[in-house]
Structure 1
């Protein structure tokens, strides 16, 4: 386990990923500042599954909300491991935690450019939900790729009473859940191309499967291991 301050401060999220993530935050803030004077008085901030705008906000929200969320997410991901009682396990994850952080930053960047591009008329505003669905699906699939590498901790991963109580349950649950999340992510991307009337139901079904299947599996494994004692 790393025992020096430099390692603890810099290797949970690797330096290259931290640099890229900060750069993406700066780029998105800069883009927001550049387009802010050109935004209308009301900008779309939310779309339904049919591609219709059902939420509006101020130009400030349109330009800066996503970059501010990015900054908040990066700060949280950087500092949470430092207060996690299992913080030493983050060093055993290899590049998995860093990969998840980078994927989140890229996802928010896609959202920022997609929403601003539609507001400014570079492409149809009705395409934004499709972009979001593709981004969510890709993010879930990549999370699934890293799932099996996540070590026992209190912040990142599938946290049920049974995975948190037993490291072996955690390990088996994440090993099982990884491929399911990859498949779920691919299916989610496909949902972006189907007729609007089916999107909400399929979105909910996929998300429930990604949550409930690993949760039920963790319970069964926990009971099985407890029965051997």
Structure 2
């Protein structure tokens, strides 16, 4: 776990170093948002474009460090703490990759941004599947609905299914590399539909539990 935490810190350091190194070469107005077709359609001032993402990465790291100390069910988080910090590292690596793509685009390397993001989302969704599959009941991470938080059995069943759905979402996201025209659809739609299904699934499992009592 110590190595994972060092990896998180290292990712943030690399992001700040990358931005600082390329700062003089970047335009005063940077592309920071891309449309469905993978082309830039939103811009920000250079200072925000360069240091906004590294600052956000640092804030996320602080949040992940705080959650195991303040969550009402923090003892349960302690049962999968290694995977918890592994997912935190996955988020930081994901953001570092997106940040590197942003820097590259603004240096003049043009490409389909949605297509380039597809493997990163696949990686993130797969890591989410791993975390969901092992997470114990808590208020901060996982599929937290009123019904999963009210029943350990419903939590377990919902998360077991959720692990499979997020990993399936990773496979769909990866297809975006081969199908750039619909890359963003392959990233968003399967995971969105899967998430909505899991909410409904947890509700009906909870109702079923009530009828069995």
Aligned to 1:24, what secondary structure does the other structure show?
A: helix
Report the Cα distance in structure 2 between the residues aligned to 1:64 and 1:21, rounded to whole angstroms: 17
- Aligned partner of 2:18 in structure 1 is 31
Taking a change above 3 Å as real, the CA distance of residues 208 and 107 of structure 1, as seen in their structure-2 partners, is: same
Structure 2 CA distance, aligned partners of 1:203 and 1:132? Answer: 9
Provide the C-alpha distance between the structure 1 equivalents of 2:4 and 2:180, rounded to a whole number of angstroms. Answer: 37
Q: What whole-Å deviation, never above 9, does each CA across 1:129-163 have from its counterpart, x for those lacking one?
A: 22222211220112112211001000100011101
| Normalised TM-score (structure 2) | 0.94
Match of 1:135 among 120, 130, 155: 120
Counterpart pick for 2:8 among 7, 21, 40: 21
Return the alpha-carbon distance in structure 1 between the equivalents of residues 117 and 44 of structure 2: 18
Match of 1:108 in 2: 95
RMSD: 1.5
1:223 matched to 2:207? The reply is yes
Give the alignment's TM-score, normalised by structure 1: 0.87
Runs of 5+ consecutive residues of structure 1 not aligned to the other structure: 1-13
Q: Which runs of 5+ in 2 are unaligned?
A: none
Whether contact under 8 Å (1:138, 1:186) holds in the other structure is no
In 2, distance between residues paired with 1:138 and 1:16?
20
Distance 1:79 1:212 in 2: 28
Query: Does the CA-based 8 Å contact 1:84-1:153 persist in structure 2?
Result: yes
Residue in 2 aligned with 1:63?
50
1:149 maps to what in 2? 134
How far 1:201 sits from its partner (Å)? 4.4
